[in-house]
Amino acid sequence: MSAVNELERRLAADRPHAGPDERTETFHEVKPDRPPSVRPTGGPRPAKTKTRPRDPWSPVPRPTRTEWRRALTPMILQLLGVLLLAVVSFMAGQTALGVILLLALLALAGWRAATWDWTPADTVMRGVDATRPVRVLRVIDPDDPETPVRIVHAGRRYAIWWLDADATVRTGMLLTRPGLVSVATSDSTAILPEGGGA
Q: Are residues 82 and 125 in the same domain?
A: no
- Please state whether 155 falls in left (phi above 0), alpha (psi between -120 and 50) or beta: left
Residues 130 and 108 in one domain: no
- Of the residues 68, 88, 116, which one is the last residue of a structural domain? 116
Per-residue model confidence as pLDDT tens for the chain (198 residues):
577 778 777 777 766 666 666 666 655 666 666 666 666 666 677 777 776 667 788 888 999 999 999 998 988 998 899 999 999 999 999 999 999 999 998 998 888 888 888 899 999 999 998 888 889 999 998 888 888 889 998 888 999 998 888 888 989 999 898 888 999 988 888 888 876 544
Say if 125 falls within a structural domain: yes
| Whether residues 109 and 141 fall in one domain | no
Q: Quick one: pLDDT at residue 63?
A: 92
pTM: 0.63
Distance of CA 194 to the CA centre of its chain: 20
Same domain, 125 and 187: yes
- Residue partners of 111: CB distance under 8 A and separation at least 6: none
- Could you tell me if 127 and 85 lie in one domain? no
Residues 102, 132 share a domain: no
Last residue of a domain, one of 86, 116, 146: 116
CB 138 within 8 A of CB 197: no
* Residues 136 and 185 placed together within one structural domain of the fold: yes
Nearest-angstrom CA–CA distance, 77 and 72: 9
Work out how many domains the chain is built from and give that number.
2
> Which of 116, 134, 158 is a domain's end point?
116
Domain-embedded: residue 112: yes
Domain that holds residue 145: 119-191
Domain match, 111 and 69 both: yes
Q: Which residues contact 17 (CB under 8 A, 6 or more apart)?
A: none
With respect to residue 29, please indicate whether it lies within any of the assigned structural domains.
Answer: no
Q: How far apart are CA 72 and CA 7, in angstroms?
A: 99
Pair 100, 144 in one domain: no
Q: In the 3-class helix/strand/coil scheme, how is 55-111 assigned residue by residue?
A: CCCEECCCCCHHHHHHHHHHHHHHHHHHHHHHHHHHHCCCHHHHHHHHHHHHHHHHH
Integer Rg of the chain from CA: 37
DSSP code string of the chain? -HHHHHHHHHHHHHSPPPPTTS-TTTTTPPPPSSPPPPPPSSSPPPPPPPPPPPP--EEPPPPPHHHHHHHHHHHHHHHHHHHHHHHHHHHTT-HHHHHHHHHHHHHHHHHHHHT--EEEHHHHHHHHHHHSS-EEEEEE-TT-TTSPP-EEETT-EEEEEEE-TTS-EEEEEEEEETTEEEEEETTS-EEPPTT---
Q: Are residues 108 and 140 in the same domain?
A: no
Residue 154 sits in the same domain as residue 139: yes
